[in-house]
A and B are shown apart, each in its own frame.
Chain A
Amino acid sequence: NAGVTQTPKFQVLKTGQSMTLQCAQDMNHNSMYWYRQDPGMGLRLIYYSASEGTTDKGEVPNGYNVSRLNKREFSLRLESAAPSQTSVYFCASSEEGQVHSPLHFGNGTRLTVT
């Protein structure tokens, strides 16, 4: 099993450009999440989807949008990238919400905005 797959692995954008980070899981998990990881800040939740058809804001949603395309896929979009969005982005999934199920993480997308 591939687990959680994120694409791309690396991306460089110029300020104002847009892009979509893709995430897919093959574990039939209900819940999916997007986190960003910054030095000294740990992981901060951007958006999550507790189940197919629902999305909710996390700690730092500003500047981002998400789409839960189907049960497998959960994309993160930056409409107008800013240098403050330079970060490593992790997608994760869990079986039935984080109450009881641990997260399975993808390998991350390293994004640089110049």
Chain B
Amino acid sequence: AQSVSQHNHHVILSEAASLELGCNYSYGGTVNLFWYVQYPGQHLQLLLKYFSGDPLVKGIKGFEAEFIKSKFSFNLRKPSVQWSDTAEYFCAVTPNQAGTALIFGKGTTLSVSS
């Protein structure tokens, strides 16, 4: 069965620091990859997604992620974080076939101090 691993449970940064959150998945076939964000007290929102093409995808609020197929990774990055980026971040993957469901990682909590 497919699975998603997020290496960092809790990341603490100061404003303007750079961010990289790791995500690895286990599935041998073609996958679709997502990052979702959950701000305190809110529901999950889509940050960015990768289906095919350019492995470097850009999302909202200055976030980007790079798909490295050989490493089964889809790491999330942001050059300079802001206090408002404090949230929980979830990586998710689904096989590229109809009728399958999205599987989430356990999440990474990001705390940004001003």
Contact = CB atoms under 8 A, between A and B. Distances in A.
A29 to B, nearest CB: 14
A98 B43 contact: no
B18 interface: no
Contacts, number: 62
A50 B98 contact: yes
A101 B62 CA distance: 21
Interface residues of B, number: 27
Instruction: Give the size range of A's interface with the partner.
Output: 20 to 34
A53 interface: no
Contacts of B36: 103
Given A40-B106, A42-B106, A42-B107, A100 B46 contact: no
A44 to B, nearest CB: 7
Nearest to A94: B102
B100 A42 contact: no
B32 A100 contact: yes
B106 A99 contact: no
Interface string B40-52: 0011111001010
Most-contacted residue by chain A among B43, B95, B96 (CB, 10 A): B43
Given A48-B101, A58-B101, A42 B90 contact: yes
A107 interface: yes
A100 B97 CA distance: 9
B94 interface: yes
A107 B43 contact: yes
A42 B101 contact: no
B97 to A, nearest CB: 7
A103 B94 contact: no
In order of increasing CB-CB distance, the 9 nearest A-B pairs are A42-B106, A105-B43, A43-B104, A102-B46, A98-B102, A42-B107, A42-B104, A105-B44, A98-B94
Interface of A: 33, 35, 40-45, 48, 50, 56, 58-59, 90, 92, 97-100, 102-103, 105-108
Interface of B: 6, 9, 32, 34, 36, 42-46, 49, 51, 90, 94-107
Given A45-B101, A50-B98, A102-B46, 20 more contacts: A40-B9, A41-B106, A42-B90, A42-B106, A43-B107, A45-B102, A48-B101, A50-B99, A58-B101, A97-B100, A98-B94, A98-B100, A98-B102, A99-B94, A99-B95, A99-B97, A100-B32, A103-B36, A105-B45, A107-B42
